[in-house]
Amino acid sequence: MSCDPEAHKKHTCYLKLHGDHETLRKVTDNPKVACRQCGTMANSIEYICAAHLKEDAPNVEGGHGILGFDEIGKVHNG
């Protein structure tokens, strides 16, 4: 899982921050995973930032490229 700039644009916090309610409805219509940042339930982890999954984050490399291990799970802007 990664959170490159293009992938990040489909994450729930980003969609909420930018007012993309239509896309947000599409990625939350069959929720299975929660964002630990905003509480939004999404259809898949691909719609949640790795840093916002906390203990549910998969054990793979990812993040925003500038996010250190000590920063995972901490609040960051959408």
Choice between 26 and 78, residue whose per-residue pLDDT is larger = 26
Q: Provide the whole-model pTM.
A: 0.63
pLDDT at 4: 72
Encode 6-39: b = buried (16+ Cβ within 10 Å), e = exposed. ebeebbbbbbbeeebeeebeebbeeeebbbbbee
